[in-house]
Structure 1
């Protein structure tokens, strides 16, 4: 007699029961193996226990409940002020981890020993599942192969060719804001518009695609909604992220099946968002391939005239040798990687600059004068690439904001072998001071970006102050002597080494093009609402004590 009772997935009861038993056995085996590995690993970490660090507050999550919640910025400031450049952190299930901002140690982590200090496998696996096989989800030779093909696409020459596109999209932003404030000074939630701007710019400049993000009456499509929701949703998982390493070795179908069993809407939402992004990037790739097959003249009729990053990559890929060529799956992986990596970080950086300028009318006015003078001297309403990159005060504001308020506070690595790394200065531990650090294989290490960028012994007693003027004079000798292993402005904001942000020049032009038009067109002032910055995967502004979860940055905007 057939069984008709169905499970939540539409399976018959017998099949559903079998699936539950298989998953239970899998969880039990995984648990036993994990317990054995955890026990042996903890024993090998005994040498790290003597390092300074905060006490654990949880047997399960360690310090993670303090490190990964929206108000964690104060905790990070406290431990940096208290424990210095090398901090012992207790991770999930009593795991000893390190938070490091020592310049010499970070140089070894990011440069010399970068093959030992790699991204965690759970990070790679989760990014492959969500974004595809792109720069954020590959290691070793595969990552180097992708980066080699992408490096020319992000060259100065290529970024320069995108300047007219940047200006066109910035004009759309200005038009949208002008319609908001036409009646006089008006309170505007700037983070909404800056996020739309960053999204549209990376869509057109990165993929030759438009979300119509800046059109007043345009309906937001599913792809745009998914990109906007993904990072905040992932950030809101908070301490639940401690489960990622435990399930990263499971087959993709099993992880997905178990995720659907989790009684949390945001987990189900992440699955939906990744499905939408993968389907949309595949559709865009298919359309581009069809255009490319029709010839260069047809391919150049795209929205970006074929100058967008993915179009240039596809053309470069055709002429590459067979050994260096990327399969379609890896090109598609770059799409989601680019759009997610660029949208939230750039909108966060621009939001921070706009907030600071609204609070400092003297700085805002000085920048406006520099921009207006540059426009008069060049005779350009849209300042071209060479003019934008030559403006000292505009550059100083960008550098100082990205130094003091990097969108990413730190990045994680895991040691693939036992390693000993030198320190710039000895650290105090129980016993004798240490001038080098032995780190056992399998230890999680976080490079503390904001810690190094605000280090008073490097930047001076005013390191925690926002002072654009510091970049208008030679930097202190201590900055030069520190040899910070970053690719941008003696900071770690865009990291260094083979995993440094490949698009930092793109981001720089994007911010400068936006500021060049916005500050000339509008005057900004605080709304009177207290703003706090939430600590997540990417920093984001919000109204203090607001019940609204999304990012918010209200300020008063008027025509300049």
Structure 2
């Protein structure tokens, strides 16, 4: 049955409305086909770049790229095709995977205004978390960072150290109770999620979820954060479709999403609703306290030193052009809670997993921490003492180098561009020292590949060796000029969209490890743990289909 016969203008009647509708449908179809065809023609220049053959004419290499065990695929293509790889996407769309240092410098620093975040990433985060740092671009994003930079400075981190110690001691007490009768299997990823949430809640918002109190159930907000990334990873194959509807108003997007028969999509809506509900409650309470004056702010858990309290006070004193509207501050709150909880809890879980396997490294670290605690006497370790512990620092740096919480970051070329390369690549058309990237092409930086590149780090680049940081690094590390903000790696990215909270995360991990390693010994569980690829790499039990991360480890008191 044709559209003409079912249109309300009348059964079988060729009304002008039905003709107009059919005409518009044809015009839209032709426009989309023309746009896709012209984009594919522009991308023909990328065919000469080597890459894996696509197993599907429709989805290309997407299934291989985003599978839960996609790490093996990415390691294979890096070893086979090198630092620049052509990948076939949906409907023969071409994209590039890059791990060349000079190319990364161009993308993240020199030409960062050309290589911006993808539309699907920006719009997805705007709908999920509001117009925070993850949901804005260009000048808008820079204005937000300008307001937030002071509260992530080393000076401000120093002032938060006593709070970090206090919260970590709560976790220590919880674990002591759990293993009071001897060694026990403990799902540490759950407890690292709880403490990461509590640290950013109290240190970032001046609010507590009470998730580390005796016999406390895991908070609804914490559960939502843990579920969000694994749930979203199951929808990543639809990301090329999202930009087509991303600019719809939120109410219409939600209505449409509920009509789509995808349980994961419905769950994403539920999880974002939970996160928004909590942050709105906190925001309105803080706004009320701000109106009451500094004394009311000082009565909070953080004594008004938390990130959002400082931001709100600074914002109220800012000029009109620099001031952030309430909607953006609320967006920053949700963004900070999510980003700081998920990545840091994953990083801590990875470090404990490694230390449980490398018992000699664990014992060496325990000795350093015990000696530092003796030197401190009755006081907790100060900021300088903690930051400067060489082996603790080496363990953190090596774990974050070898196992970054997320492996990829994508950018899209907003204009035609040329990316220079550190070393020429061999193609069907000869050696290339730079790559022409047509407008609209997605370029993905492989963080793990550049962090493990043997040409940069040496033949043992794929090995976990914390002691490499206790001696001068190979000259090749400095010569590579990797454009990251942390330890010659891209773990926390670089450029204008680098992780603004990496100092917060570093301090958090070191405080937690300084207490737990001194008090507990960690050993592998009999239950095998595997690391699942997704937006953020997360641990799970081998053979388990559970969405929520799991990582049991045998924990016992150190006698």
Match of 1:382 in 2: 380
Count, aligned residues: 541
Match of 2:183 in 1: 185
CA deviation map 1:362-396 (0-9, x unaligned)? 00000000001111112245212111101000000
Superposition deviation, residue 24 in structure 1? 12
Tell me, yes or no, if structure 1 residue 552 matches structure 2 residue 556.
no
Match of 2:343 in 1: 345
CA deviation map 1:113-152 (0-9, x unaligned)? 0000001112111111110000111011100100011100
Match of 1:18 in 2: none
SS of 1:45 mapped into structure 2:
helix
SS of 1:49 mapped into structure 2:
helix
Rounded Cα–Cα distance in structure 2 between residues aligned with 1:295 and 1:215: 30
- In structure 2, relative to structure 1, the CA distance for the partners of 1:46 and 1:322 (3 Å cut) is same
Match of 1:483 in 2: 481
Match of 2:67 in 1: 69
Rounded Cα–Cα distance in structure 2 between residues aligned with 1:235 and 1:74: 17
Rounded Cα–Cα distance in structure 2 between residues aligned with 1:247 and 1:461: 47
**1:408-557 residue pairs with structure 2 within 5 A?**
408-557=406-555
Superposition deviation, residue 356 in structure 1? 0.5
Match of 1:151 in 2: 149
Q: Is the 8 A contact 1:227 1:340 kept in 2?
A: yes
Match of 2:173 in 1: 175
Rounded Cα–Cα distance in structure 2 between residues aligned with 1:363 and 1:184: 23
User: Where does the alignment leave 5 or more consecutive residues of structure 1 unmatched?
Assistant: 1-13, 15-20
SS of 1:53 mapped into structure 2:
coil
Match of 1:270 in 2: 268
Rounded Cα–Cα distance in structure 2 between residues aligned with 1:511 and 1:439: 39
SS of 1:374 mapped into structure 2:
helix
**1:248-263 residue pairs with structure 2 within 5 A?**
248-263=246-261
Rounded Cα–Cα distance in structure 1 between residues aligned with 2:512 and 2:414: 42
Rounded Cα–Cα distance in structure 2 between residues aligned with 1:31 and 1:67: 29
**1:55-454 residue pairs with structure 2 within 5 A?**
55-454=53-452
SS of 2:68 mapped into structure 1:
coil
Match of 1:5 in 2: none
Rounded Cα–Cα distance in structure 2 between residues aligned with 1:24 and 1:520: 72
Q: Is the 8 A contact 2:225 2:342 kept in 1?
A: no
Rounded Cα–Cα distance in structure 2 between residues aligned with 1:40 and 1:192: 49
- In structure 2, relative to structure 1, the CA distance for the partners of 1:276 and 1:475 (3 Å cut) is same
Rounded Cα–Cα distance in structure 2 between residues aligned with 1:261 and 1:238: 19
User: Where does the alignment leave 5 or more consecutive residues of structure 2 unmatched?
Assistant: 1-7, 9-17
Rounded Cα–Cα distance in structure 2 between residues aligned with 1:30 and 1:195: 47
Rounded Cα–Cα distance in structure 2 between residues aligned with 1:25 and 1:483: 55
Q: Is the 8 A contact 1:223 1:276 kept in 2?
A: yes
Q: Is the 8 A contact 2:133 2:335 kept in 1?
A: yes
Rounded Cα–Cα distance in structure 1 between residues aligned with 2:27 and 2:206: 47
Rounded Cα–Cα distance in structure 2 between residues aligned with 1:30 and 1:277: 38
Superposition deviation, residue 225 in structure 1? 3.1
Rounded Cα–Cα distance in structure 2 between residues aligned with 1:232 and 1:195: 14
Rounded Cα–Cα distance in structure 1 between residues aligned with 2:361 and 2:424: 40
Match of 1:4 in 2: none
Greater alpha carbon shift after TM alignment, 216-225 vs 327-336: 216-225
What is the TM-score normalised by the length of structure 2?
0.94
Rounded Cα–Cα distance in structure 1 between residues aligned with 2:53 and 2:536: 26
- In structure 2, relative to structure 1, the CA distance for the partners of 1:24 and 1:534 (3 Å cut) is farther
CA deviation map 1:504-550 (0-9, x unaligned)? 00000000000000000000111132221000010001111124332
CA deviation map 1:454-494 (0-9, x unaligned)? 00000000000000000001110000000000000010000
SS of 1:61 mapped into structure 2:
coil
Match of 1:40 in 2: 38
Greater alpha carbon shift after TM alignment, 524-533 vs 247-256: 247-256
Rounded Cα–Cα distance in structure 2 between residues aligned with 1:75 and 1:286: 47
Rounded Cα–Cα distance in structure 2 between residues aligned with 1:297 and 1:327: 24
Q: Is the 8 A contact 1:211 1:220 kept in 2?
A: no
Superposition deviation, residue 26 in structure 1? 9.8
Rounded Cα–Cα distance in structure 1 between residues aligned with 2:464 and 2:359: 14
Superposition deviation, residue 553 in structure 1? 1.0
Superposition deviation, residue 244 in structure 1? 1.8
Match of 2:5 in 1: none
Rounded Cα–Cα distance in structure 1 between residues aligned with 2:275 and 2:88: 35
What is the TM-score normalised by the length of structure 1?
0.93
Superposition deviation, residue 227 in structure 1? 2.4
SS of 2:241 mapped into structure 1:
helix
Rounded Cα–Cα distance in structure 2 between residues aligned with 1:205 and 1:24: 58
Q: Is the 8 A contact 2:408 2:446 kept in 1?
A: yes
Rounded Cα–Cα distance in structure 1 between residues aligned with 2:71 and 2:229: 18
- In structure 2, relative to structure 1, the CA distance for the partners of 1:224 and 1:528 (3 Å cut) is closer
Superposition deviation, residue 209 in structure 1? 1.4
Rounded Cα–Cα distance in structure 2 between residues aligned with 1:31 and 1:504: 46
Rounded Cα–Cα distance in structure 2 between residues aligned with 1:359 and 1:381: 31
Rounded Cα–Cα distance in structure 2 between residues aligned with 1:484 and 1:252: 39
Rounded Cα–Cα distance in structure 1 between residues aligned with 2:506 and 2:59: 37
Q: Is the 8 A contact 2:120 2:240 kept in 1?
A: no
